[in-house]
């Protein structure tokens, strides 16, 4: 239960930060990506602020033997780039640039009721569901589960191939 409460509070803090920084406004994202027009550097400032807080906090947290609400840290160990990673990043970037939203700000913006977010979020969820269906079909045909596949997917078996280092 404490994990659920902590996750909820962290999500609320993230949502408040997005709202206060203006990052729920698609115009901020589009302005940041408009290098030849009226460039808006505020997104870069928010990113740098987040890195400035996260970097020392991460180093302090990793000194612990385990996280507070888990038995071990789950740190990704993969360092390679493959077509799935590059394709997913490209698709994310295209959606981000065209819609002005990424998942966090889009969900945070839902209560606004703006048409753009009301169109974007269902399209995003449909894309996630379509990906899950395609992955499920590929697994059923080949029997191979990709390491990137989320093990809690409702249509896929748990994947022992997920490559995470669990520090004890």
Q: How many domains does the chain contain in total?
A: 1
Distance CA 121, CA 119 (A): 6
**Tokens (6 digits) for 110:** 């839902």
Q: What is the mean pLDDT of residues 50-77?
A: 90
- DSSP-derived 3-state class of residue 153: coil
Q: Report how far residue 164's alpha carbon sits from residue 50's, in angstroms, rounded to the nearest whole number.
A: 24
Average pLDDT, the chain: 83
d(C-alpha 141, C-alpha 131), whole Å: 15
Domain that holds residue 155: 2-167
DSSP secondary structure code for residue 110 in this structure: G
pLDDT reported for residue 1: 65
- What average pLDDT does the segment 122-128 reach? 91
Instruction: Tell which wins on pLDDT, 40 or 161.
Output: 40
pLDDT band at residue 149 using 50, 70 and 90 as cut-offs: low
In the structure encoding, which two tokens stand for residue 39, read together?
């460039």
């Amino acid at each position: 239960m404490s994990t659920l409460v902590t996750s909820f509070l962290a999500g609320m803090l993230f949502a408040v930060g997005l709202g206060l920084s203006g990052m729920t406004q698609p115009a901020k994202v589009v302005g940041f990506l408009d290098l030849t027009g009226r460039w808006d550097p505020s997104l870069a400032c928010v990113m740098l602020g987040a890195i400035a807080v996260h970097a020392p906090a991460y180093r302090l947290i990793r000194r612990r033997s385990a996280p507070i609400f888990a038995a071990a840290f789950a740190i990704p160990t993969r360092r390679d780039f493959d077509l799935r990673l590059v394709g997913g990043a490209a698709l994310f970037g295209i959606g981000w640039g065209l819609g002005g939203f990424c998942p966090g700000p889009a969900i945070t913006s839902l209560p606004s009721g703006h048409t753009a977010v009301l169109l974007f979020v269902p399209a995003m969820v449909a894309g996630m569901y379509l990906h899950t269906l395609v992955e499920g079909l590929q697994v059923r045909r080949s029997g191979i589960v990709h390491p990137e596949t989320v093990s809690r997917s409702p249509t896929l078996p748990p994947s022992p191939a997920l490559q995470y280092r669990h520090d004890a």
